[in-house]
Amino acid sequence: MYMAFKHFHLLIVAISVSFLLLRFVLNLKPAAILQTKFFKIAPHVIDTILLLSAVMLMVTLQQYPFVTPWLTEKLLAVLAYIALGVMAFKGRTKAIRWLCFFGALGWLALAIRVAITKQPVFLSAL
């Protein structure tokens, strides 16, 4: 069951990142398609499924945030990715939106690194 949950989680990660990239590119020259119901609801649904798939993996592995340091750091990185992803579309200026977009990708890179190595970067001193 673990492998099925893991592959499902990785699929949702790929969908989340791809959708963020697509929406950001479409947002560079505001496209009417971004105002459709699908593009307004889909990011919330995708990120919710992303977090639920992570919960499925945690329960399967019996490893939990705030108990396992690498998992705590990964969770915080994913939450930062989501928050900055939202701000990449709601920032007041283009500069802020670009900064948030690259910040989201940076936190995503940290989450991926921690997921692969199972070694926290920032919480290792705790």
- List the chain pLDDT tens, one digit each, 126 residues: 899 999 999 999 999 999 999 999 999 888 899 999 999 999 999 989 998 999 999 999 999 999 999 999 999 999 999 999 999 999 999 999 999 999 999 999 999 999 999 999 987 765
Look at the pTM and tell me if it is higher than 0.95.
Answer: no
Rounded Cα–Cα distance for residues 57 and 36 (Å): 33
Evaluated on CA atoms 61, 84, 116, 72, the torsion sign reads negative
Distance between alpha carbon 27 and the CA centroid of its chain, in Å?
A: 19
Instruction: Give the ranges where 29-93 is alpha helix by DSSP (H).
Output: 37-61, 69-90
Rounded Cα–Cα distance for residues 75 and 80 (Å): 9
Q: Are 108 and 81 in contact (CB under 8 A)?
A: yes
